[in-house]
Amino acid sequence: MYAATLSTRKEPYARCSPPFKERVEEGSFSLDTERRFHHDKSQMRYIVEPDETPNFDLRNGYSDRYIKRDENVRKNLEHILQWILANKSKLMQRTAASALADFDFVTSRGRLTKVLCTPYEGQTEWSLAVTKFQGVFYINEVETASACQGRQNRTESHEENIYWGYKFEQYICADKIDGTPDSTGVVNSNEAYYSVVRTRLSDHRLLFSGEVDCRDKDPNAPAPPACYVELKTSGEMYTDKQRSKFRRFKLLKWWAQSFLLGVPRIVAGFKNDDGLVVSVRTYRTAEIPQLVQGEYLGWKPEVCMNFCSDFLSFVKRVVIEDDPHVVYLFSRKALSDVTFTVHRNSSYSFLPDWYVTKMS
C-alpha cells in the first residue's frame, strides 16, 4: 500500500539532484495575432542586445496600442496536442508501436514550473488534472478558485504591469535576424513562439512545450534550446530586504522556468514605478542557484528537482485507469501536501475528441 498524499515539505527532498537529461528540441510552433496555431517558426524573434541603462518607457502604447489575449479562453493542452498530431508520422519513425511510445508524460513547461517551486511556495495553490491515455500521462492545469478570483479582480496598476512585461520584449526583439525592434508597433499578447522539448528526469521521459521570448541572432549560436533567451522585468530594488525577497522568490521562478526548457540566459530589465527601465542585467540560468546560496531561507535546486521527480512517480502510481475520459485531479492547497480525487466524464476531462480519435 502506498501513501495517498505526497509531502510538500523541503526536508524529504534535500538529497542529491536526480538525473535530468539535456533538453532536446523536437520541434516548435507559433500562435498568431488571433492565437491560432501554426506549425512553423513565424513568431520567432531575435534579441537586439539593449544598453545597460536603456530608459525604455514601458507605459508607451498601453492605452492605444495593446491587444490583450483573452484570458478566459483556456486552451488546456490543445496546442501541444496539435503539434503531436502534426508530427505523428515523424514520431512514429522512431518507434513503430505508437507516436508517443517513447514518452511517459506530455505537458507544458508552465505546469512543471509550478511543481518545481512547490516546496518553497507554501501559500501557492494548484490543481493538476492527469489523464492516462495509451500509456501516456497528460498533465493539464485547472485554474483554482482563488487564482480565478485574483485574475478577475486585478487592480488597474497590476493590469498595466502585465503590459509592461510585453512592452519590454518589444523594445528588445526584432522579427527578422537583421531587423531592429519597432517600439511604435502594437503589442499583441496573443502572439507567441513555442519550443517542444524532450528530456528525462530520473526515469520519467517527458515531452513538453514552453513559450520562448527570443533567440540569439548569431548564426553560430548553439542549436535550440541553447540559443534561446528569456526576457523578464522586475521592480528596481533599493533595500537589502527587497534584494533578499527577489533572490528567494523571483529568482526561484525565473530559474525553474528557464532551467526546465534548457534556456541558458535571462535578460532582466529593472523598472521604476513610472515604468522606466533603469537598468538591464543578464543572468546565466546555471549560475542563479549560486546567487541564492547563503541566503537565509534560500532555496536549493535539488529540492525542486527531487520534488518534481517524486511527484511524477506519485502520478504514475496513482493514475491506473487508462481512459481519455477519466481525470485524476492532484491538488495542492496552501500549506498542505498533495492530495488527489478521481473524476469520470466530468468537466475536468480535457483530451479533445479530435485528438483521441486521431491517436486511436
Name the residues that contact ligand A3P, by CB under 6 A.
162, 165-166, 211, 213, 232-233
Instruction: For Mg ion, give the closer residue by CB, 143 or 211.
Output: 211
> Alpha-carbon distance 171 to 5, whole Å?
46
Q: Tell me which DSSP letter residue 285 carries.
A: G
Site string for Mg ion, 224-243 (x = CB under 5 A): -------x------------
Contact partner at residue 261 from ligand A3P, Mg ion, none, CB < 5 to 8 Å by partner kind:
none
Smallest distance, Mg ion to C-beta of residue 69, A:
12
Using DSSP's 3-state secondary structure scheme, residue 268 falls into strand
Smallest distance, ligand A3P to C-beta of residue 360, A:
34
Contact partner at residue 233 from ligand A3P, Mg ion, none, CB < 5 to 8 Å by partner kind:
ligand A3P
Dihedral sign for Cα 23, 25, 30, 31, please.
negative
Smallest distance, Mg ion to C-beta of residue 288, A:
15
Smallest distance, ligand A3P to C-beta of residue 166, A:
6
Contact partner at residue 337 from ligand A3P, Mg ion, none, CB < 5 to 8 Å by partner kind:
none
* Count helices and strands in the chain by DSSP H and E runs: 10, 17
Contact partner at residue 166 from ligand A3P, Mg ion, none, CB < 5 to 8 Å by partner kind:
ligand A3P
Give kind and range of the element (H or E) at residue 79.
helix 78-86
Site string for Mg ion, 27-46 (x = CB under 5 A): --------------------
**Amino acid present at 18:** P
Q: Which residue has the cell 498533495?
A: 338
Residue 191 engages Mg ion in binding (rule: CB under 5 A): no
Q: Which residue in 213, 271, 326, 348 binds Mg ion (CB under 5 A)? A: 213
Smallest distance, ligand A3P to C-beta of residue 233, A:
4
> Alpha-carbon distance 349 to 76, whole Å?
10
Contact partner at residue 114 from Mg ion, ligand A3P, none, CB < 5 to 8 Å by partner kind:
none
Q: Which three cell numbers stand for residue 206?
A: 517527458
192-201 vs 204-211, strand pairing mode: antiparallel
> Alpha-carbon distance 263 to 324, whole Å?
32
> Closest-CB residue for ligand A3P?
165
Residue 348: how many other CB atoms lie within 10 Å: 20
Which residues on adjacent β-strands are paired with residue 234? 270
Instruction: For Mg ion, give the closer residue by CB, 104 or 213.
Output: 213
Smallest distance, ligand A3P to C-beta of residue 45, A:
11
Measured CA to CA in angstroms, residue 201 lies from 11, 103, 310, 313, 345 at distances of: 20, 12, 10, 10, 31
Instruction: Summarize as ranges the residues that interact with Mg ion (CB under 5 A).
Output: 211, 213, 231
